[in-house]
Amino acid sequence: MVLAFLVALFFGGRGCIGWGAEKAVDFVPVTADAKVGEVGAEQFRAQYAAAGEPTEAQKKRVERVFGELQQALTPEETAILGNPRVTVVVDDTPNAFALPGGEVFVLTGLLDRVGDDDDMLRGVLAHELGHAIKRHGMKGLARRAAFGVVITMLIGEVDELVVTLAAGATELDRLAHSRSMESEADAFGVDLLKRTGHDPEGLARFLESLGSQPVPELLSTHPEPVERAAAIRAGSS
Ligand SMILES: [Zn+2]
């Protein structure tokens, strides 16, 4: 019976299963997030290490800004992040991305892009923390592994589910978030920036600055940066 149901679901459309798999993340304990994130993190560290080490000044600056944001998180938000930390890696691509559990990777190309403007960097990091706290990476991986997630959920083993999701963890830097996820991460970022006493203007300005030079994670999907910047300004007033 169960098998017949699954086969019907499968042929009924992967889109439907993808939606179901994404919803299933709500039932996965948050302790799974850091475990899945760590699988991706190990891979990314190894991959970027070949390009060399960022400077101490780059690391210190990013850690300082990240630390300020981290201190403004509520206990509930902190509880979702099993492994909040920031890692700077050498790569010319202007990009940053968050792993489940709260590790954020910042590429030195992003630092080149923001120059000495800490508000822009702060805005990007706040946006990335939003993805981790709203568990967007977990949802994206669940959607990607669709059928496997549905089966694993039926078996009911969290450890199995971690293995299923972690299989895609090395693609977390290329995972395209949906339009609604980007908006949700922007809204979270605005709220967090306000809590630190900083103007969310930095995130809006950063999005506007992208123009014809998109940032892979931050512009992976439809919302127009100018539209998003306007929404950020509207939400911060
Ligand atoms: Zn994003």
CA–centroid distance, 127 to ligand 1, in Å, is 6
What average pLDDT does the segment 200-225 reach? 72
Given this model, what pLDDT does residue 224 score? 76
The residues carrying an active-site annotation are: 128
pTM, two decimal places:
0.85
User: How far is the C-alpha of 110 from the C-alpha of 118, rounded, in Å?
Assistant: 12
Among residues 220, 216, 213, the alpha carbon closest in space to that of 179 is found at 220
For ligand 1, an ion, list residues with CB under 5 A: 182, 185
CA–centroid distance, 31 to ligand 1, in Å, is 22
pLDDT category at 211 given cuts 50, 70, 90 is low
CA–centroid distance, 139 to ligand 1, in Å, is 13
How confident is the model over 116-133, as pLDDT tens digits? 999 999 999 999 999 999
Given this model, what pLDDT does residue 1 score? 43
pLDDT category at 212 given cuts 50, 70, 90 is low
Say if residue 69 is exposed, middle or buried (CB neighbours under 10 Å; 0-12, 13-18, 19+).
Answer: buried
What average pLDDT does the segment 143-163 reach? 70
Residue 120 contacts residue 209 (beta carbons within 8 Å) = yes
CA–centroid distance, 172 to ligand 1, in Å, is 12
Among residues 119, 30, 140, the alpha carbon closest in space to that of 77 is found at 30
Given this model, what pLDDT does residue 89 score? 97
Residue with tokens 């630190």: 196
How confident is the model over 74-83, as pLDDT tens digits? 999 999 999 8
Query: What are the beta bridge partners of residue 97?
Result: 105
Which phi-psi region, left, alpha or beta, contains residue 129 (left: φ > 0; alpha: ψ -120 to 50)? alpha
